[in-house]
Structure 1
Amino acid sequence: MSNIGRTLKSFPKLFWVANTIELLERFAWYGFFMLFANYLTSSLDAGGLELSQAQKGIIMGFGTGILYFLPIITGSIADKFGYRRVLFVAFIVYTTAFIAMPLFKSFTGVFFIYLYLALGAALFKPIISATVAKTTNDSNASIGFGIFYMMVNLGAFFGPLVTLLFKNSSYTLVFYISAGIVALNFILLLFYKEPELEKNDDTLATAISKVFKNILVVLKDFKFVLFLLIVAGFWTMYNQLFFTLPVFIKQWVDTSSMFDFFAQYAPFFSENYGAGDGQMEAEFITNLDALYIIIFQIIVSAIVMKWRPLKTMMTGFLVCSIGMALTLTTQNVLYTLVAIYVFAIGEMAGSPKITEYIGRIAPPDKKALYMGYSFIPVFIGNVFAGIISGNVYQIMSDKTQFVQQEMASRGITLSEGLTQDEYFSTAAQKLDMSTSELTNFLWDKYDPSSIWKVLLFIGLFAVVALFFYDKNLRKSEAK
């Protein structure tokens, strides 16, 4: 039997149950999350809510940020009451949140139901990774976590592909599909055996108070905190893949050449992932990032395996920043596809090394503590990503804002009560243009692609800061 075969056989049944649960949860999450930005901001007659970009940024930025902050508390809850019980509660919250989501149409309503959904994700998130850690050992942990991350990316890729099939019928179906997929985990819970936990007689209040005391311990390590703040810049830029890019593609990028290609050579894709107007769905294009990772992650990991973590992160952050900036510079979908590939290469090189580096710099007696607080840059990155994709995007790149400015500057008043799409079509008629001609006119006059400078600056700042961090760190170690 080969070594890989022996390794796979060494994993207990609980390991495979946990990974299947992770696959279904990521399938359900990304099935809606990749579509969420356009759902919040699209025209009412396209099934969207017509919220502003700023409102979208608050919901997605703060809500998702909370999701990554809460696990420091929910992890303690799971340790106290048992993984299986907390997973059961998490799936109840998840399922009911997905079912209830379409019932809320206002900014306030959607914001609070999304926070409720984030609570379900926060209850879930620390448990499965902990289960994988408890069902692996030094000899098979590398492959074990490789399988775990493969499940994450498989769910992230196939989730949107399934939900996009039903988007044109109704966004409500998207949320119901996610509810149905995550509810399958109730069945898997029947096979989930509670892993052995360390005996802990602390009350829940005591456990949570220790969590916040530990935060103070971590904050005293200036070197570690500085690293986390630098990495937050990477996550701010990275999250634009979900927060900004789908909206930018929908508003500005001409995807007709891609649609025509599929219509001629692979009609399944144009028929099922076309937007109905000779264009491809924006989320179908952004979802290629996950496909690139599935195909190339092992190759990229092999190349950077022996590189120093900080060097790898600097390289990855730089490539990632260039890739994300390039996605927002053109109306040509072919350039967008290449830019997403560049972004994915940087993501594959830099992102996995963050966790590896934290494990290396953590004091021997505080490794678990430090790893547990690696959520901080993700939390901060989501909050700032919401600001960039919200207020900043609305000012610099929002087509809805631009067409309203243009009509106001010409003294043209349109009827009240028009949806976004109706307003844009009517504005085009008033200006004696087609909708595509008006889009191109706004592109040339208002330069929405200029937002690429903001994202590139954030990414480059993280790279330069990491360079000086590394330089000073090595200098201090040499003394």
Structure 2
Amino acid sequence: MNSELKKKASFRDFPPTYWIVIVFEFFERGAYYGVMSILSVYLTDMLGFSKTEVGTIKSTIQPLLYFLPILSGAIADRLGYRKTLMVAFSLLGIGYYLTSQVTDYLAVFVFLLIMAFGAGTFKPIISGTIAKVTDESNSGLGFGIFYWSINLGAFIFPLVVVPWLKSMDWSYVLIMAAIVTSLMLIPTLFLYKEPEREKIDDSENSIFAIFGDIGKKIGLVFLDWRFMLFIFIYSWFWILYFQMFDSVLWYVQQFVDATALNNFVSSVTGLDWKFDVEHVTVVNAFTIIVLQLLVSSIVKNTKALPTLIVGISMGTVGMAILAFSNNIWVFLAGIILFSIGEMTAHPKYISYLGLIAPKDKKATYMGFGFLYGFFGSFVGGYLGAWLYVKLVDNPMIAFVRNSVPDAIISDDIKIPDLIAIAEGAGITKDQVSTHAHTAELWLLFSGIGVFCIIGLLLYQKFIGARDSSNF
């Protein structure tokens, strides 16, 4: 083999445009995960929305991030990446800023939708640019740095920026995200170099031609029931993942006593540090940053489906661990194990997807692989909020109503207000909290993980991949 083909990829192999989009990805994902690390709590505690209202918002905006790239990627290929990036960053900045300035439910919903359209437009441009400015010799390293930048942003922003801004005003987190994404317009305009695009006939450049082509691809893939069924089964696991931004945050705020961790960190660092809801995202991202290379090296030669099932099993056990104790160390163990399961499963999902996609249409099919996030976030937002209210909030409300019959307690009372009523009647917060069925909540979600595993096993047995050697 030619020695040039054996040459290892290095950082110097990448053009300036590559590093510019890595910077874009770091700041955009940092802003996004910074906001998402507190958004559900901000909407319930600061703006007074009910959890089911928040579930409706999250089940609308998050699926858009996974479906819009089908459209925005095709549009960018025709209109140009720079123009599409300008639109994306503009929508992100406007959406974040306007959300920070309003408190009305409908207004927040609409402005978060604008943000979601921006994020969904942005998503395929970065990976598309990287694919165009790398080749077979360095694309592995190029995309590795890309994924690392995502988790680095998700780690640094919630760890450092969010607590500082939140201590002044929670809305400042949204303003920060607006500023960060808006500033990305400057390098987009002056530094980003448009990658070469395949020349498309003018007749195929019209909006009707674009959406017609997309419609054909959607029809082709969606009618392949084997392919779509596998994505749908795998998406059940992602119902668990999306709880990290909703029900897990509400649980941490209400039930997890982080005093032991706070004291430990403070004694080691000398800082007056406190664990809060945004640090759930930090734990997930940090685990992936530290262990991804190790996990990848362990599973790189293992068969796709068994490894996928092992990863989902680990994530399911991680979620189940939350059912046994609200101790901070137990909680951290559960989140870390879930994160290891996530990083074990997902690369093998992509590998297995390639096995069940028709060889002559693989590129088209793989473009729809992210629909697991569409299904998982759509169900996860609604289901997480609904189950949390039914199993956690409602039993506590019923207990206080029975214990304080003279109090006027509405069905949608905020839990801090409920605790205040209880404490006014001589009932402690711990007494109220013991009536919440938190264990059942996490075991139910773990059950979804078990059904996902069973579904994958049945899929392999009765349908299977085209290349059964990878079972």
**Contact 1:321 / 1:343 at 8 angstroms: preserved in 2?**
yes
Contact 2:74 2:210 in 1 (8 A): yes
Deviation at 1:407, TM superposition (A): 2.8
Q: Deviations over 1:244-297 (max 9, x none)?
A: 211111011111222222333324252xxx3xxxxx312224421110110000
Q: Secondary structure at the match of 2:264?
A: helix
Cross-structure match for 2:258: 255
The unaligned stretches of length 5 or more in structure 2 are none
Specify the code of the residue in structure 2 equivalent to 1:140: N
- Provide the residue aligned with 2:110 in structure 1: 112
Change (3 A) 1:369 1:422: closer
* Residue 228 of structure 2 is aligned to residue 225 of structure 1: yes
Q: Encode CA deviations 1:353-407: one digit per residue, 9 max, x unaligned.
A: 2222223332232122111111222101001101222111111123xx4443223
Q: Tell me which residue corresponds to 1:355.
A: 350
After TM superposition, the structure 1 = structure 2 runs for residues 32-431 of structure 1, keeping only pairs within 5 Å, are 32-42=35-45, 48-161=46-159, 162-189=161-188, 190-201=190-201, 202=204, 203-268=206-271, 270=273, 274=274, 280-398=275-393, 401-410=394-403, 411-414=405-408, 420=414, 423-431=417-425
Check the 8 A contact 1:228/1:376 in 2, yes or no: yes
CA contact (8 A) 1:240 1:385 kept: yes
Structure 1, 362-371 or 304-313: larger mean CA deviation: 362-371
One-letter amino acid matched to 2:432: L
Normalization by structure 1: what TM-score?
0.90
Q: 1:220 to 1:415 in 2, by over 3 A?
A: closer
Aligned-residue offset at 1:123: 0.9
What's the secondary structure of 2:271's corresponding residue? helix
Tell me the alpha carbon deviations over residues 128-180 of structure 1, each in whole angstroms, 9 at most, x when there is no partner.
Answer: 01111111111211111111100110011112121121112101211111112
Q: Which amino acid in the other structure matches residue 70 of structure 2?
A: I
Q: Which amino acid aligns with 1:408?
A: R
Instruction: Output the aligned Cα RMSD.
Output: 2.3
Amino acid at match of 1:188: P
Q: Which residue matches 1:451?
A: 441
Distance 1:369 1:6 in 2: 28
- The code of the aligned residue for 1:348 comes to M
Deviation at 1:415, TM superposition (A): 8.8
Deviations along 1:7-39, one digit per CA (max 9) or x if unpaired, are: 322222211111111111111111111111111
| Higher mean displacement: 197-206 or 22-31 | 197-206
In structure 1, what residue type is equivalent to 2:155? F
CA distance in 2, matches of 1:215, 1:170: 43
1:120–1:474 Cα change, 3 Å: closer
Contact 1:70–1:122 under 8 Å retained in 2: yes
> Deviation at 1:478?
7.0
Counterparts of 1:178 and 1:476, CA distance in 2 = 44
Q: Please, which moves more after superposition, 281-290 or 95-104?
A: 281-290
**Identity fraction in percent:** 32
Looking at structure 2, the residues matched to 20 and 478 of structure 1 have their Cα atoms a distance apart, in angstroms, of: 40
Taking the aligned partners of 1:354 and 1:188, their CA distance within structure 2 comes to 35
Evaluate the alpha carbon distance shift between residue 5 and residue 268 of structure 1 in structure 2; reply closer, same or farther with a 3 A threshold: farther
User: Could you tell me how far apart the structure 2 residues matched to 1:90 and 1:10 are?
Assistant: 28
Bigger Cα displacement from structure 2, 158-167 vs 123-132: 158-167
Question: Residue type of the partner of 2:309?
Answer: M
Q: Is the 8 A contact 2:396 2:435 kept in 1?
A: no
TM-superposed deviation, 1:422: 5.9
Distance across 1 between alignment mates of 2:183 and 2:453: 42
Distance in 2, Cα, partners of 1:94 & 1:101: 11
How far apart, CA to CA, are the structure 1 residues paired with 2:357 and 2:407? Answer: 61
CA distance in 2, matches of 1:78, 1:394: 42
Gaps of 5+ in 1: 43-47, 275-279
User: In the alignment, which residue of structure 2 is the partner of 1:277?
Assistant: none
Go from structure 1 to structure 2 and tell me whether the alpha carbon gap of 1:423 and 1:143 turns closer, same or farther (over 3 Å shift): same
